Amino acid sequence: MNPLDATAAMTGSTLAGNIVAAVTDVLGHAPTMIALHEPEFAGREWEYVKDCIDTGWVSSVGAYVDRFERDLAAFTGCARAVATSNGTAALHMCLLAAGVQAGDEVLVPALTFVATANAASYVGAVPHFVDSETRSLGVDAPGLDSYLSDIAEVVGDDCVNRRTGAVIRCLVVMHVFGHPADLDALDALAQRWKLTLIEDAAESLGSYYHGRHTGNVGRLAALSFNGNKVVTTGGGGAVLTNDPELSRRVKHLTTTARTSHRWNFLHDEVGYNFRLPNINAALGCAQLERLPSMVERKRVLANRYRERIAPLAGVRFLHEPHGTRSNFWLNTLILDTPAEAERDTVLAALNDAGYMSRPVWTLMHKLPMYTNCPRMPLPVAERLEASVINVPSSAKLSD
């Protein structure tokens, strides 16, 4: 081994050792694998689910669906919430309700879960990938603004891509790992460029931007209640909006576009069966009752990670951006350059020690179905892809 390799190996192993020691301090020793994020049923979940079974109201309509939608609207401060079968369906409905047409382009972060890009594909649009910024990991508003100045122009009420001739209809932003993106800047940018702003808030239930719950700034927003999210309905999602007309439209589309009549089956367009079953909504009602305390405990855990990671060289803990209050859905370590070369060593050491740890998603433009999509230069997303490590984040780990 030449001396440079020896130094790299030493630095690598020291960094991995230091990170494992810090995580051990926060979580204690792991007798069995500690999961990245586990659901927690410590409230009235069993009581509400049993009620569905006892009364027979387990399927696609019922009082828990109505209550869950009201509770979600009240919690987030949005005028309306429409429950859906999952978060991906919620995103799909956001894009349809926003009027995205086949052949349009939709701006989507390269650094996101694949559902954000897939939703654009479902409506026949082309995802157009944009870069991230390092404070929130969300879409980089100034970078996107200067990119659009190069490639796009506003024609009447449309933003037109001068290279492809397509209308760029929407900007979908995502609140990565629960940290709110810079919504004021992104909202201003969307207005300037005549883009409909949509929030993928699948990871940010319980997160606030300058006192407003995430999902309130975009015209529409999507939530997810998958088993790994902050609260779960087994599977489920919701569309949030402050526009009652749009919420009626989403309700209609997700319930097979059936027109109301006492007995006739009349459907006035091609709709979807994207309803959330009552038994899942029952689980959600019980989970929402405990959401504030779960977020509190997740924030306690995040603070412990932050204190223990702060003194280490070569790595930083991703804290909530200034002016925001994050749910810390997943706690995130970011390796400094050049320590990112040690990412897999650190991941192996953490997983070997019983702390389930994961890198971030593969960037969207590297997936086979999206390699030919338009994109801006993605230097920040590329660096984050190489340097992010998520560590166990369940609320109960703070107890």
Which stretches of the chain bind ligand PLP, using CB under 6 A?
86-88, 112-113, 115-116, 174, 200, 202-203, 224, 226, 237
Q: Which C-beta is closer to ligand PLP: that of 95 or that of 166?
A: 95
Strands (E), 52-125: 80-84, 105-109
The whole-angstrom separation of Cα 111 and Cα 138 is 8
Task: Using alpha carbons only, give the angle 182, 378, 205 rounded to the nearest 5 degrees.
Answer: 35
Q: How many CB atoms sit inside 10 A of residue 358's CB?
A: 15
**Least spacing, CB of residue 201 vs ligand PLP, in Å:** 8
Q: Which C-beta is closer to ligand PLP: that of 116 or that of 136?
A: 116
Q: Which C-beta is closer to ligand PLP: that of 227 or that of 292?
A: 227
How far lies 367's CA from each of 87, 117, 126, 295, 373, in Å? 20, 11, 14, 33, 10
Nearest CA to 357 among 72, 92, 95, 23? Answer: 23
**Least spacing, CB of residue 118 vs ligand PLP, in Å:** 9
Q: Which C-beta is closer to ligand PLP: that of 199 or that of 342?
A: 199
The whole-angstrom separation of Cα 281 and Cα 198 is 24
Write phi, then psi, for 310 (nearest 5 degrees). -50, -45
**Least spacing, CB of residue 2 vs ligand PLP, in Å:** 43
Q: Which C-beta is closer to ligand PLP: that of 88 or that of 327?
A: 88
**Least spacing, CB of residue 74 vs ligand PLP, in Å:** 21
**Least spacing, CB of residue 356 vs ligand PLP, in Å:** 17
Point out the residue whose Cβ comes nearest to ligand PLP: 87
**Least spacing, CB of residue 239 vs ligand PLP, in Å:** 12
Cβ neighbours for 374, distance < 8 A, ≥ 6 positions apart: 105, 126, 128, 129, 161, 163, 164
**Least spacing, CB of residue 194 vs ligand PLP, in Å:** 25
Q: Which C-beta is closer to ligand PLP: that of 277 or that of 314?
A: 277
* Cβ–Cβ < 8 Å for 306, 334: no
Number of H helices, E strands in the chain: 12, 15
Reduced to 3 states (helix: H, G, I; strand: E, B; else coil), residue 242 is coil
Q: Which C-beta is closer to ligand PLP: that of 90 or that of 301?
A: 90
**Least spacing, CB of residue 32 vs ligand PLP, in Å:** 25
Q: Is the torsion defined by CA of 224, 230, 234, 238 positive or negative?
A: negative
Q: How far apart are the first and last CA of the chain?
A: 46
The whole-angstrom separation of Cα 271 and Cα 253 is 5
Q: Which C-beta is closer to ligand PLP: that of 131 or that of 342?
A: 131
